């Protein structure tokens, strides 16, 4: 079974280290996002997909979701990170309420994420 792991945005930021791409033309999504059209889209398409994420409108409420890779449906913007995602089946909820994880919660989720990535990398190297 290839179940999706759903974690909090704090875990995404702590582990993958999103950054503002130097060629980004707009300051969306707290200055980190790249637009879904024009020159920003060209930048995203030129990058290694392992470093690209899509911020998606979930459609079932005010929360958003960060998903690995380059998606088109319900996309709000794209993010790039310093660390690769190896196409793991993980999604990060961006709560509208601006809630944050406790330090223990962040540690637990980071451990889950690290194990998932290690398993994926091990599987790819076999």
Taking only the tens place, the pLDDT of each residue in 63-88 is: 899 999 999 889 999 999 999 999 99
Q: What are phi and psi of 112, to 5 degrees?
A: -60, -45
pTM: 0.92
Rounded to whole angstroms, the Cα distance separating 42 from 45 reads: 5
Tens of pLDDT along 81-112?
999 999 999 999 999 888 899 999 999 999 99
Sketch the domain layout of the chain as residue ranges.
5-125
109, two tokens: 């989720």
91, two tokens: 């999604």
Assign 2 a pLDDT band (cuts: 50, 70, 90).
low
Q: Are 53 and 67 in contact (CB under 8 A)?
A: yes
Q: Are 87 and 120 in contact (CB under 8 A)?
A: yes
Rounded to whole angstroms, the Cα distance separating 55 from 107 reads: 23
């Amino acid at each position: 079974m290839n179940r999706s792991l759903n974690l909090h945005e704090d875990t995404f930021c702590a582990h993958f280290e999103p950054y503002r791409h130097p060629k980004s033309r707009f300051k969306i999504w707290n200055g980190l996002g790249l637009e879904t059209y024009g020159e920003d889209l060209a930048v995203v398409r030129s990058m290694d997909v392992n470093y690209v994420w899509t911020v998606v409108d979930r459609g079932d409420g005010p929360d958003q979701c960060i998903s690995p890779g380059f998606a088109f449906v319900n996309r709000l913007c794209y993010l790039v990170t310093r660390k690769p995602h190896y196409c793991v089946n993980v999604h990060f909820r961006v709560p509208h309420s601006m809630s944050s994880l406790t330090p223990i919660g962040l540690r637990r989720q980071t451990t889950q994420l690290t194990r998932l990535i290690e398993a994926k990398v091990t599987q790819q190297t076999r």
